[in-house]
Amino acid sequence: MLNRAVVRYDSLSDSRTLATGIVVHRQNPDGSMWDYDLNIIAYADSTDNPCAGNGVIYIGAFIPASGDATHPTVAFLPLPEMKADAIGHMALLSSYTPGSDYVYYWGGAGWSKHDIPTPEYWMDLMQSFARRINSPLDVTVLTSSNK
């Protein structure tokens, strides 16, 4: 459903804050959604001409649960001035330790004119995806020898 990305910065000397974000456009400034407990941000992007009936594109990002004590912060980061219809970013802000893997999932995976009828439906899919990644199926195959 989403793309998995792994980023590693070995040459940094100090911990940093990293942002995993989604661009928010002026056409739908209130289209942001989030689930703080599951580290999810999502957005209903009305496209560049919502009056033309092009539908809504749903996008999202998610940071898997980890053993780290820090929890990502959900934030809206406004741009000082609008650029190409962008007014800011919906972001997950995370503490990063140099030399470690920073794993996140991202992507656009739905369209209102095809498979995602509502923002609520999109968020349900995002939450289901996050739960599956955070609690993967663990299978043990038991065998017996017939002698």
How would you write the pLDDT of the chain (147 residues) with one tens digit per residue? 899 999 999 999 999 999 999 999 999 999 999 999 999 999 999 876 767 778 899 999 999 987 665 689 999 999 999 898 899 999 999 999 999 999 999 997 788 888 899 999 999 999 999 999 999 888 889 988 655
Closest CA to 126 of 2, 16, 11, 26: 2
Domain that holds residue 67: 3-134
The arrangement of strands across the sheet holding 86-96 comes to 16-25, 86-96, 73-83
CA distance 108 to 122: 11
| 145 belongs to a structural domain | no
Residue 36, amino acid: Y
The pTM of the whole model exceeds 0.75: yes
How many domains are there within the chain?
Answer: 1
| 129 belongs to a structural domain | yes
CA distance 71 to 51: 39
Helix (H, G, I), strand (E, B) or coil at 59: strand
